[in-house]
Structure 1
Amino acid sequence: MLCLLAVAGALPAAEYALAEELELRGTIAGSLIGHGDPKLIDLIDTGAIEDPSYEPVSSADLPARPDSGSMLGSGITVSASEKGATPPSLSTSPLSERTNLRVGTVSDPARRLNQRIQPLQGAKLRRDENPYAPMGIRAGTITLFPTLESGITATTNGTSSPGGDSAVLSETRLELRGNSDWSRHRLEFGGNLDYQNALSGDVEPELRGGADASLRLDINHSLAATASLGYAAERESLNSPLAVAGVDRQPLKHQLTAALALERGLGPLRLTVAGEVLRETYDAARLSDGTEISQSDRDSTLALARLRVGYEVSPAFLPFVEVEAGRRIYDEDLDSAGYDRSAKRFGARAGVVTDIAEKLAGEVSIGWISEDFDDSRLRRLSGLALAASLQWSPIRGTNVFLDASTTVEGGSGADSGSILHAAALRVERQLRSNLTGDLRVGAEWRDFDAGGHDLTLRGQASLTWWLNRYAALVARLGHEKRSSSDPSREYDATSVYVGMKFQR
């Protein structure tokens, strides 16, 4: 019985030795082991086959010196059971003579053939922060954002002017905005078209609109150029101090602007040189009998040059000073009253540019501006110049916008003109994901050189309720009131608007 057991125990060992001698002996390419073939590594790890010897052709073919605990370099390590005792052949023979080395596991993930991947079912979906924001229309590297709004307005003063009557108006506004998606440079453009028609009341149909475009070229890391072009057309307002008296139809006013600026960075210094041209033309005014009164004596061109020097205290704070000089030239040497209204323009201001990411951005400045007429009978027109364009986000979902400007307005006859200061504050709040509230207040102060003033106050509250990403209901309530040193120029108007807005 004992003999049978001894023979049975010896058979597996003999079979293993025979298989090794007849089938598994031979040279295996070392490159296969180096590339981590799983089958070969398993055979070597179990001792089924020997690690082949490696004889370098030159010293450049020698492997890098292994780290502590490493056998064949990065990725193949000695098993834990062998760290305590190093085989004698490992210390007495060169690498080319070492055979029958036990290869451990491949620890370099890059050598694994079957990488673990994240299942699609387990991936987290990114939540859309504003599910009702416009998606836009992709056209190559340009994204277009069209908007159409149409509704009905009921107002107590259809012309927003002294003596205006109540009216019901239909209003339609078409707007298109776009921007580029380039790795360098930036293009922005837009346009709008507004049509207003009276459903009841004595209000003439009105069509006004405009377009603008701006291109920024990043020439290098410290030099950039910006070019802009704009056009706007609208009828002279009945509440304007330049409105033509006694006419049935006020003239149509056209404005064309073009500007070019170069900005250079010299360490913390920021230098900007800019040029701007403003062209204003007027169509003829029309009397009730169809007769037209030419307004060509009001056509003019204003050319300005500006120099701004700023110092970057920090990326979020850049104070600056700016000076400007230019000339306003009228197409006709004398206006209808016999005055030469061409003038030299000067201005200076100081301000600050701020850019705190997602919190506060824009600029604000204060200074002085003046126009000195060529006709000595006209007094110099000068005054305080205010400018602001700020966007502030105090908390998530709330945006505050502040805009301010100063405009030099022309006059007629012996009147030099006026200076108009305007400011507007707008607060936008996302009340719910599909409900947005908007509150606006504004003020205008017009100071006449001949004496007197106008103060106009405006207020408006609106709600926008999005039915889906593409359509919304809009409601607005507004009030406007003017007080003046001349009672004949005073008026007030209250209006209610209800309509729909569509976007893409």
Structure 2
Amino acid sequence: MASFNVSKKITYLTLAGAALVPGGAFAQVVTEPIPVLPNDYPIERQGVADRYRPDYESEGLAVGPMQVRPQLGVGGAYTSNVYGAASGELDDFYLAVNPSLTVQKTNGGDNAITARFSGALRRYAEETRANETAFGGDIDSTFALGNNSFLQAGGSAHRYYERQDSGSFPTGALAPIRYSDLNAYLRARAGGSRVRLTAAVDIDRTKFSDAKYSDGQTIDQSARDRRVLRGSTRGEVSFTGSTFGFVELRYSDINYLRNFLDNGDANRDGKQYEVLSGVRLDSGKLRGQVAGGYVRRTFKAPIYNDFGGFALNGEVVYYASGLTTFTLNGYRNITESGDPNISAQFTTGVTAKVDHELLRYIILSGQIGYDRNTYRGYNRKDEIASVRGGIRYLMTRRFEVNAQAAYVKRTSTGAQFGPEFNRFEFGVNLVGKL
């Protein structure tokens, strides 16, 4: 039942995540591979934030063989620095509207199809140039093949916004940059309880709209548009019933849709190779996986120098008690840059989060994070530190109230330094579910 449990967990995580005030975590434009091995841990043990609470969870609507879960979040928030300016900051209030719809169909056993549709709208009171209208949809399917083997396939189409605390945000840009992302994947796993092999392939296309600058100019961002074809394979061996060792190989073919940059230089087409080895465990109060290895980025055009280095990917959850969960995440990898003068960048980050169930219907959360971006062929280093806290109040099966506050500080050093700013945000929203 592992793969069905994955689909069920995704459904509840989606509903819980949509309840938060948007803007707590600004996504960096990183087109990582679809995870070659999804988190198929037993659903019986969940963290405080992710736990299913039958007294406060809506079961949705039964429509024939499908389960439908509509949800709407509406709230208001304040930000002290709308455009991420180093000086002359402009603060403002904004209205946030977050509709979502999850549809799931199961055919018995491990077979399941889940579709999710969502929107994230921001409407500022005065700084309307920063308004956002994000939306998208995902579909995931799982087909059991027997003997602990399965096939998974899916795809997504989204409109996102790249904000100022993304490591790839272009220097000098003013408002968030709209971009679209299309993705399709296929994943298969075979093996038993001691040895198993997983393979995956996915294709991702990202396209950027023009950037707006403070002097009123718009800058064409089409040189960043790219298509990435990736393949991954992973072999696992069980040391004990709860501990696995694994080796994972990844290959990415990176093709920019424009052959040349605005200055006439060739674009940054190339390949990326990754070799990772690690441990996956689910024992006692600990659950998670940690992998380290080597990543290398090569370029088709000789004007760019190939480079590589240490890669890291890990998440460990500590179940301190039935009321408190600690989560530690760490990563280091090569990512694409939004600046045409930079071939690529190393992105390193760590986050530590604690979730505590004060009462059955009140969940407290706190998180600290640190990200560092170093830019290849460019004398620049950016650092982003953040502190976040939130309260989730479960009123009934149909309604909940959420409040969240966040502080973000971005600094940049080097001869060609990037954006620097401080920002404080606070927001409250009401979520209704059927």
Please give the TM-score of this superposition, normalised by the length of structure 1.
0.67
Aligned to 1:502: 432
Aligned to 2:257: 331
Pair 399,212 (structure 1): closer, same or farther in 2 beyond 3 Å: farther
**For the Cα contact (< 8 Å) 1:378–1:415, is it kept in 2?**
no
Pair 456,244 (structure 1): closer, same or farther in 2 beyond 3 Å: closer
How far the C-alpha of 1:295 sits from its partner, in A, is 3.0
**For the Cα contact (< 8 Å) 2:194–2:238, is it kept in 1?**
yes
How far the C-alpha of 1:336 sits from its partner, in A, is 1.8
- 1:378-397 superposed matches below 5 A: 378-397=304-323
> Which residue of the other structure, out of 185, 194, 203, is the alignment partner of 1:268?
194
**For the Cα contact (< 8 Å) 2:196–2:236, is it kept in 1?**
yes
Q: Could you say what secondary structure the match of 1:489 adopts?
A: coil
Give the residue type in structure 1 aligned to 2:95: S
How big is each residue's C-alpha offset from its partner over 1:79-118, in whole Å with a ceiling of 9 and x where there is no partner? xxxxxxxxxxxxxxxxxxxxxxxxxxxxxxxxxxxxxxxx
Pair 442,212 (structure 1): closer, same or farther in 2 beyond 3 Å: farther
Greater alpha carbon shift after TM alignment, 366-375 vs 137-146: 137-146
Find the aligned partners of 2:249 and 2:153 in 1 and give their Cα distance.
20
Find the aligned partners of 1:205 and 1:291 in 2 and give their Cα distance.
18
Aligned to 2:97: 172
Q: Does 1:146 align with 2:70?
A: yes
Find the aligned partners of 2:136 and 2:368 in 1 and give their Cα distance.
24
**For the Cα contact (< 8 Å) 1:320–1:350, is it kept in 2?**
yes
**For the Cα contact (< 8 Å) 1:458–1:478, is it kept in 2?**
yes
Pair 242,397 (structure 1): closer, same or farther in 2 beyond 3 Å: closer
Aligned to 1:428: 355
> Which residue of the other structure, out of 189, 198, 205, is the alignment partner of 2:124?
198
How far the C-alpha of 1:219 sits from its partner, in A, is 0.8
> Which residue of the other structure, out of 47, 56, 59, is the alignment partner of 1:132?
56
How far the C-alpha of 1:303 sits from its partner, in A, is 1.2
**For the Cα contact (< 8 Å) 1:248–1:288, is it kept in 2?**
yes
Aligned to 2:31: none
Give the residue type in structure 1 aligned to 2:403: A
Give the residue type in structure 2 aligned to 1:328: I
Find the aligned partners of 1:498 and 1:340 in 2 and give their Cα distance.
43
> Which residue of the other structure, out of 297, 303, 307, is the alignment partner of 1:371?
297
Find the aligned partners of 2:328 and 2:61 in 1 and give their Cα distance.
30
**For the Cα contact (< 8 Å) 2:171–2:339, is it kept in 1?**
no
**For the Cα contact (< 8 Å) 1:149–1:499, is it kept in 2?**
yes
Q: Which has the higher contact order (CA 8 A, sep 6+)?
A: 2
For structure 2, list consecutive stretches of 5 or more residues without a partner in the other structure: 1-51
Find the aligned partners of 1:389 and 1:139 in 2 and give their Cα distance.
37
Aligned to 2:271: 344
- 1:453-468 superposed matches below 5 A: 453-468=381-396
How big is each residue's C-alpha offset from its partner over 1:316-346, in whole Å with a ceiling of 9 and x where there is no partner? 2111011122311122222222223111211
**For the Cα contact (< 8 Å) 2:130–2:176, is it kept in 1?**
no
**For the Cα contact (< 8 Å) 1:387–1:404, is it kept in 2?**
yes
Aligned to 1:301: 227
How far the C-alpha of 1:480 sits from its partner, in A, is 1.0
Pair 473,220 (structure 1): closer, same or farther in 2 beyond 3 Å: closer
> Which residue of the other structure, out of 296, 316, 321, is the alignment partner of 2:247?
321
Q: Does 1:155 align with 2:71?
A: no
**Structure 1 or 2: more helix by fraction:** 1
How far the C-alpha of 1:310 sits from its partner, in A, is 0.9
> Which residue of the other structure, out of 184, 199, 204, is the alignment partner of 2:110?
184
Find the aligned partners of 2:74 and 2:103 in 1 and give their Cα distance.
21
Find the aligned partners of 2:354 and 2:109 in 1 and give their Cα distance.
33
**For the Cα contact (< 8 Å) 1:162–1:239, is it kept in 2?**
no
Q: Could you say what secondary structure the match of 2:223 adopts?
A: helix
Aligned to 2:373: 446
Please give the TM-score of this superposition, normalised by the length of structure 2.
0.77
Aligned to 2:30: none
Find the aligned partners of 1:469 and 1:266 in 2 and give their Cα distance.
39
**For the Cα contact (< 8 Å) 2:158–2:180, is it kept in 1?**
yes
Q: Could you say what secondary structure the match of 1:479 adopts?
A: strand
**For the Cα contact (< 8 Å) 2:154–2:184, is it kept in 1?**
yes
Give the residue type in structure 2 aligned to 1:456: I
For structure 1, list consecutive stretches of 5 or more residues without a partner in the other structure: 1-127
How far the C-alpha of 1:284 sits from its partner, in A, is 3.3
Q: Could you say what secondary structure the match of 2:232 adopts?
A: strand
Aligned to 2:21: none
How far the C-alpha of 1:195 sits from its partner, in A, is 0.8
Aligned to 1:115: none
- 1:19-418 superposed matches below 5 A: 130-163=54-87, 164-181=89-106, 182-201=108-127, 203-240=129-166, 242-244=168-170, 251-265=177-191, 268-285=194-211, 293-337=219-263, 338-356=265-283, 360-405=286-331, 406-410=333-337, 412-418=339-345
How big is each residue's C-alpha offset from its partner over 1:376-422, in whole Å with a ceiling of 9 and x where there is no partner? 11122433322234544331133344444445123544421212223
Q: Find runs of 4+ consecutive structure 1 residues off by over 6 angstroms.
A: 287-291
Aligned to 1:473: 401
Give the residue type in structure 1 aligned to 2:269: S
**For the Cα contact (< 8 Å) 2:187–2:198, is it kept in 1?**
yes
Aligned to 1:16: none
**For the Cα contact (< 8 Å) 2:406–2:424, is it kept in 1?**
yes
How far the C-alpha of 1:361 sits from its partner, in A, is 4.2
Pair 153,453 (structure 1): closer, same or farther in 2 beyond 3 Å: same
How big is each residue's C-alpha offset from its partner over 1:245-272, in whole Å with a ceiling of 9 and x where there is no partner? 6666664211222221221116722112
How far the C-alpha of 1:456 sits from its partner, in A, is 0.9
**For the Cα contact (< 8 Å) 2:94–2:122, is it kept in 1?**
yes
**For the Cα contact (< 8 Å) 2:170–2:339, is it kept in 1?**
no
How big is each residue's C-alpha offset from its partner over 1:8-42, in whole Å with a ceiling of 9 and x where there is no partner? xxxxxxxxxxxxxxxxxxxxxxxxxxxxxxxxxxx
Pair 354,205 (structure 1): closer, same or farther in 2 beyond 3 Å: same
Pair 268,340 (structure 1): closer, same or farther in 2 beyond 3 Å: same
Find the aligned partners of 2:338 and 2:402 in 1 and give their Cα distance.
39
Pair 493,314 (structure 1): closer, same or farther in 2 beyond 3 Å: same
Give the residue type in structure 2 aligned to 1:500: L
